[in-house]
Structure 1
């Protein structure tokens, strides 16, 4: 075997090389693998395909393209599966308890597969929700040459000449309750809102993380925005398979790419794009695996100095396909670079720096209606704001780019509920009035457990016509599809003794998003009396897995990672 090949395949040689590995080679031969294939670099291909998630139903084709690329570049691909939960299908029932925790299982399972079978490099193929951050966490944990290629975004649907997506369906439930839409219209919307494969069409969590994978440098340009059904997505997957061989040859590893420069670029793009608030959970968890600290204070600092350039659904009328046509993530980075807001020296999986990539692509915005000019942004500050105050001393998060102007600063009357279900019932029953603040507690990482998404209550508020007059405050989290004054990740959570657990019906809550504060306007003596008789509730948890999760999960302010 040539010396260069021995060096490249040193890791997999633990499984294929030498006299004592004859039994191992026998098992590989049982797979139909030839000796020539065993001598080549073995590339693990993590495939999250399943027949449950629309964003994953087509990943067999993406993975086949990846494997074709690996073989063209001289490697031997070896595919293995991971799990995936569809947040949309898990929404508003007990299934959502398992969504965020699945992120840790995905990371762990890839670590196990790539350690039990020592691949030389990895190609990770996610698309939705917790699969993307879970795979990125694994990449940084393992730190072997790795590239990510997603399945791509879904196209927007169309109903009666109007473009729509899944969020329109969620919000339509409230409209039906109000009598503003009949059930036949809802049925038509159901059929058309999600027209095919791909991650849901707006800047929701899946697309946010796929765009940020590209920004961080672990995915090729185009990863975040090329539509799932476009042939360019297949070509991208082939190039990813080929490029991982180049990363292996040059021994470029994830921690060479993910540095403090990458942290800044990721948060800057997050703010410019107006991404899901879930990124505030996922980015700290990802960077933590590389030994990098990303705190809420860093998010807030960079948000204050990064203009919001995009208003994609749910914040505005545009979709990921429009961002792709406008030049994609490279165009947004190029626009931010004009103000010196991008670390152009950061290395990427192309083997080149961000600046070199932008120059090679001749990156520029092709539609300034979709990506605003740097000197004429939608807002001078980023899409996400971090609030603190006595109600959230460790922080709370809001997607300020999707908040109505009327709700940016106000004092609201608290309507507390100890579960999502109870709150939704009250909203749809018409019990929530303008000026109220729906407070949903005991839905945090420990209290939920699993920190359920609150898309159903936020969509119900919007559908009931209360989006410009009612806030929602929770220690749970929100879907990237949530819009309105939806303030989540309140820390400490109620289950950990947070003040949110002491809120009573009729209390005044002061919301000041521009001032970055969230305060319960109750005097200290009254709060002291409430604390004296208060004991945080403990939900009965039957799942053995969730029992373990509750014991080890940290607060949302720390990314809800496991200790």
Structure 2
């Protein structure tokens, strides 16, 4: 049988000077000659960094992948890309998602790899790596880092969702500082990303539902030895994918994206899911629009009882059967014939799954909440859309009319929110402008605005809040996000003034400010504040080319892919 010719042979299979250069310099790492005999070269794209605590255990995970690659007859080569630490990076990790995607794309295309394993976990590392890999379209498999173990404070399970409650309690004077710090030491007690259904967990579920990872990838705790087993098996499987030429474009079809949208609804996933999924679809050439969320997820209830929409943690989800247990409940809704990286369909992968704890994963006939998913709103305040997660909101506020309390930017908000003379009531609608993709820039997670101190003292725990920014997937509340167009590019949000009456109507999918078209036009003619353009560097590039939230906030010149062919060969 004729030996399969892999992409890496363009480097290592050459004779003469060129082949000598490629092989000789690799051999300085102690690699034997037979490693270059035509076996598949597997790139391990690693976002390990001590500045990304969620991913700080990835050195060990990469070694497990390598063992699997070797066992299956491949040649593993690990390479780093920029890592995005959600908890530390300023002004926001989202500013650099597109930059990392470019790093990934160019690193894969420029180097002699036949397939890639993406090691990602922290919020933006997953979409960034998948976006970059999609633009090259080689056989690709994702290994997530896994959630940390559930926190524990004085016998009570805690997670990052509790941070928002604890912060408000501290601001209200109900939680002493020494106790606040004691809880801080009890929350993040192992390697891994957030233990709740925040953005990191939502992204891990996204790649599993899309078919880009082996089953159970999403929920195995980072500290569980089975996470390394999954990494080892993933290393073995990527070699098989290369031999089968099972590329991303064969897996990431429109039905696969719809499966991921339905899964995200059922698990109560992050609103950030929408912006990242749209960006990935744009890279792989699948037609997907923000409006699709309303009809694709219609009728999908909340099945996973996980914080912030529920009670439990990712560790509990794994013990209850993992994401496959949830997907099995969705069998009547899913496109069960979608191919996945293990060569089986999503339906086949979940057919034998069982649920071991109905307190965590509900049957489809008896969901925890009939309201789930990401609802897309339209109206004169958000012509291109805005999103809200009803399962994390207060039911009484899902239909609400109130006067706007406007903050022009995040600095204005911070300066005035705790002013005892702030003219605000529980019925007010908090509006934050200029925190969108271009206006901030980078679209930070500040949309879940803190409740004014004077209202906290009165016992108010939720209000309608609207912004062109995002919020952490660990957060909750009646929060409208991703308003598009954003204020900084002339969107109607930038025209809203304190006292304007705003109506939120989630059941009817509308968000409206009580201003006539003529009044809006008159205010627009006066000129909203334009975003200041950075003088140089990546931030300037970002502001000049970032698209609006309803398009995924990717760069306009990165939509679509350019394949795996090397542009020029200098040797």
Q: Same fold per TM (> 0.5)?
A: yes
The offset of 1:537, in angstroms, is 2.6
Report the CA distance shift for 1:460/1:244 in structure 2 as closer, same or farther (over 3 A).
farther
CA contact 1:511–1:518 (8 Å) conserved in 2: yes
CA distance in 2, matches of 1:458, 1:352: 46
Matches within 5 A, 1:515-554: 515-539=508-532, 541-542=534-535, 544-554=537-547
Q: 358, 375, 388: which is aligned to 1:398? A: 388
Q: Secondary structure at the match of 1:176?
A: helix
Q: Secondary structure at the match of 1:526?
A: helix
2:565 corresponding residue in structure 1:
none
The offset of 1:535, in angstroms, is 3.0
The offset of 1:555, in angstroms, is 0.5
The answer to whether the aligner puts 1:226 opposite 2:183 as a matched pair is no
TM-score normalised to structure 1 length: 0.94
CA contact 2:489–2:531 (8 Å) conserved in 1: no
Report the CA distance shift for 1:412/1:206 in structure 2 as closer, same or farther (over 3 A).
same
The offset of 1:540, in angstroms, is 5.4
Deviates more, 1:113-122 or 1:529-538: 529-538
CA distance in 2, matches of 1:169, 1:355: 37
CA contact 2:168–2:450 (8 Å) conserved in 1: no
Q: Summarize deviations over 1:526-553 as a string: whole Å, max 9, x none.
A: 3333222123332353552111101101
CA contact 1:406–1:468 (8 Å) conserved in 2: no
Q: Secondary structure at the match of 1:79?
A: strand
1:19 corresponding residue in structure 2:
15
The offset of 1:463, in angstroms, is 7.0
CA distance in 2, matches of 1:516, 1:468: 24
What 5-or-longer segments of structure 1 have no aligned partner? none
The offset of 1:455, in angstroms, is 6.1
The offset of 1:468, in angstroms, is 4.8
CA distance in 2, matches of 1:466, 1:280: 32
Deviates more, 1:392-401 or 1:453-462: 453-462
The answer to whether the aligner puts 1:296 opposite 2:295 as a matched pair is no
CA distance in 2, matches of 1:357, 1:140: 23
The offset of 1:119, in angstroms, is 0.3
Report the CA distance shift for 1:157/1:429 in structure 2 as closer, same or farther (over 3 A).
farther
Report the CA distance shift for 1:346/1:376 in structure 2 as closer, same or farther (over 3 A).
same
Equivalences, count: 550
2:170 corresponding residue in structure 1:
176
Matches within 5 A, 1:304-319: 304-319=298-313
TM-score normalised to structure 2 length: 0.93
Q: 363, 378, 381: which is aligned to 2:368? A: 378
2:474 corresponding residue in structure 1:
481
1:502 corresponding residue in structure 2:
495
Q: 440, 452, 457: which is aligned to 2:444? A: 452
CA distance in 1, matches of 2:167, 2:481: 22
Q: Which structure features the higher share of helix residues?
A: 1
The offset of 1:184, in angstroms, is 1.1
CA distance in 2, matches of 1:403, 1:412: 17
What do you get for the CA RMSD once the two structures are aligned?
Answer: 1.9
Q: Summarize deviations over 1:417-476 as a string: whole Å, max 9, x none.
A: 122232244334453531121111111111111111116735888977776541110011
CA distance in 1, matches of 2:490, 2:81: 36
Q: Secondary structure at the match of 1:36?
A: helix
Deviates more, 1:216-225 or 1:152-161: 152-161
CA distance in 2, matches of 1:466, 1:108: 47
Deviates more, 1:410-419 or 1:483-492: 410-419
CA contact 2:444–2:470 (8 Å) conserved in 1: yes
Q: Secondary structure at the match of 2:449?
A: helix
Matches within 5 A, 1:244-283: 244-283=238-277
The offset of 1:235, in angstroms, is 0.3
Q: Secondary structure at the match of 2:529?
A: coil
Deviates more, 1:431-440 or 1:188-197: 431-440
CA distance in 1, matches of 2:408, 2:66: 48
